[in-house]
Amino acid sequence: MLKIGEFSRLSQVTVKTLHHYDEIGLFKPSHVDKFTDYRYYTIDQLPYIHSIMALKELGLSLEEIAQLMQENLPPEQIRGMFRLKQAEAQQRVREEQARLAQIEFRLRQIEREGMMQTVDVVIKRIEPIYALTLRRVFRTAQEREAASRAITQAVADGLIMYSGGTPMALMYQHECEEDISDSEMCLPVDSSHTPTVSLGEMGTLTLRELPGIESAATYIHQGSTLPLNEKNLFLQRWVLENGYKLSGVWRILFHRAAWDNVPSSEYMTELQHPIERA
C-alpha cells in the first residue's frame, strides 16, 4: 500500500488533485483508514490514473472521462465524443492560425513603416437592424451634406422616430471617393416605423431590414474623415493578407459626426467589411 504522497510522486498527480478525484468519485483510493482518514493506493491503480491523465490531455472534461471509464458506453457514443473533441481541436487550430496571421501582418507593418501601426482590426458579428434608408449616387460632397441636413430636419420635425442607433452608410463601391459615391444612407428605427418618409427633392426614405453580417473586419477611426480612403485600403489589405476575402456591401458607421456639433478632430467613424474565408 502507498500513502497518498508516495502515490502522488509515483503518478505525478498532485495530492490536491487526488483529493478532488476522490471527492467527485472519479478515482478513489484503495483504502481509507477509518481512524485517521489517511488515503492509501496500490501499484495496480497506476494504469487507471494514467488513463485519466491521458484523456485529460485530449481535452475531455472530468464528467466525460467518468462516463468513458465507469459506464459501458456503446462504441458509437464513444466515437461521437471523440469526434466532438476533434472538431473543437480543429477550431482552436484555426483560431490560432488566424491569430498567427494577424501577428505576422502587424510585424510586416512595423517593418514597412518603422513604427507601430495604429490601425487595429477586430472581427465582429453584426446583428440585423431596421432602418430608414435612402440610396442614390452622390456626385459631390455637398449633395451628401444636403441629404444629411434633410434627414436631420425630418428628425427635428418629428417625421422620423430615431431609435438612437448609429447612423451609417452602405457603400456599393470598394473605395471611399471624395466626390462620386454610390451609397445608401441609413438611420436606425423601430420595425414598426412608418414605411416611408419624404425628404422633398432629396428623395424618400424607405423602411427596410439591414441584414446581419456573420463576420465583419472592422476598424474604428478617430478624427477627420479625410484619411478614410487610406484606412479603408489598409483594412482591405488586412483582409486579404489574413486569409479572408471581401464579401458583400461594406458599411461606414458614424458614431460621432458633424451633426453632433463637435469639431472634426472628435469625429469617430467605423469601417465594417463583410468577410469570409478565402
Amino acid code (one letter) for 106: R
Report the SS3 class of residue 214.
strand
pLDDT of residue 118: 58
pLDDT of residue 102: 82
All three cell numbers of 164, joined, read 438612437
pLDDT of residue 196: 96
pLDDT of residue 113: 66
Amino acid code (one letter) for 108: R
pLDDT of residue 98: 83
Contact 180, 218 (CB under 8 A): no
Indicate the range of 21-35, 159-173, 228-242 predicted with least confidence.
228-242
Domain residue ranges in the chain: 2-70, 74-115, 122-277
102 phi and psi angles, rounded to 5 deg = -70, -40
pLDDT of residue 234: 86
Average pLDDT over residues 30-35: 91
pLDDT of residue 190: 95
Fold assignment, 122-277: Multidrug-efflux Transporter 1 Regulator Bmrr; Chain A (3.20.80)
How many Cα atoms occupy the beta-carbon half-sphere of 247 within 13 Å? 15
Average pLDDT over residues 115-123: 71
Indicate the range of 98-112, 154-168, 254-268 predicted with least confidence.
98-112
Question: Which of 25-29, 110-114, 255-259 ranks highest by mean pLDDT?
Answer: 25-29
Percent of the chain at pLDDT > 90 equals: 58
pLDDT of residue 175: 58
pLDDT of residue 115: 57
pLDDT of residue 178: 55
Average pLDDT over residues 247-276: 92
Helix axes 15-23, 4-11, angle to 10 degrees: 110
Is 2-70 a domain of CATH 1.10.1660.10?
A: yes
Q: Is the pLDDT of residue 198 over 60?
A: yes
All three cell numbers of 209, joined, read 431590414
Mind listing the pLDDT tens digit for each residue in 46-56? 999 999 999 99
The length of the chain is 278
Find all residues with CB under 8 Å of 142, minimum gap 6, and list them.
none
Among 214, 275, 212, 213, CA closest to 242:
275
pLDDT: which is higher, 272 or 230: 272
pLDDT: which is higher, 74 or 130: 130
Is this model's pTM higher than 0.95 or not?
no
Write the DSSP assignment of 113-176 as a string of letters: HSS------EEEEE--EEEEEEEEEE-SHHHHHHHHHHHHHHHHTTSS-B-S---EEEESSSS-
**Per-residue confidence band for 119, with pLDDT thresholds at 50, 70 and 90:** low
**Per-residue confidence band for 94, with pLDDT thresholds at 50, 70 and 90:** confident
Give dist(CA 273, CA 174) in Å, integer: 10
Provide the total of helices (H) and of strands (E) in the chain, helices listed first.
7, 13
